Amino acid sequence: MGRHMAGILGALVLLGFAAVPAKADLKLCNNTSSRVGVAIGYKDREGWATEGWWTFDPGKCLPLLKGDLIAKYYYVYAVDYDKGGSWGGKAMMCIRDKIFTIRGFDNCKEREFTQVGFFEVNTGEETDWTISLSGDKSTP
């Protein structure tokens, strides 16, 4: 195959990649040296929900929610599995130790869940957003 033909094939391959639509997801990148567990909170058509746990190895980025984002605000709580501590905030929501999906954030204790503070992520109503965790934890 001549150089001219190889150049045309290379251009076609690049065009093929350019035609692929961008994936719109809520992603999280673990920019720490520890494995972390992540839970999220959000409001959808059925009301408020929290879900967990996703495990992220150091330096990995993965989707938490796939598809176009439907809310402006999402909430995150993360636990450092290796060094201890967590990333959280003031938005109190329900979690549990095992994999979960919990509807609503009221009466966590009465429903036998643990209530913790999630930090708020303002996506600015974008359809695609990436959250980055760093070494700055809210608790030791």
Does 17 reside within a domain?
Answer: no
Does 12 reside within a domain?
Answer: no
> Position 124: which residue type?
G
Does 3 reside within a domain?
Answer: no
Distance CA 69, CA 67 (A): 6
Largest CA distance in the chain: 73
> What six digits make up the tokens of 2?
């001549």
Domain count, the chain: 1
Residue 37: closest CA among 92, 122, 98: 98
Does 91 reside within a domain?
Answer: yes
Q: Which domain holds residue 128?
A: 23-133
**Percent of the chain at pLDDT above 70?**
80
CATH code of the domain in which 105 resides: 2.60.40
Q: Which band of pLDDT confidence, cut at 50, 70 and 90, is reported for residue 11?
A: very low
Could you read off the pLDDT of 85-97 as tens digits, one per residue?
Answer: 999 999 999 999 9
- pLDDT of 5 > 50? The answer is no
Does 5 reside within a domain?
Answer: no
Compute the 3-state secondary structure of the chain and give helix, strand, coil in percent, each to the nearest 5: 10, 45, 40
| Beta carbons within 10 angstroms of residue 9's beta carbon | 11
Does 32 reside within a domain?
Answer: yes
Does 18 reside within a domain?
Answer: no
Residue 91: closest CA among 134, 43, 36: 43
Does 59 reside within a domain?
Answer: yes
Whole-prediction pTM: 0.79
Query: Is 131:28 a contact under the CB 8 Å cutoff?
Result: yes
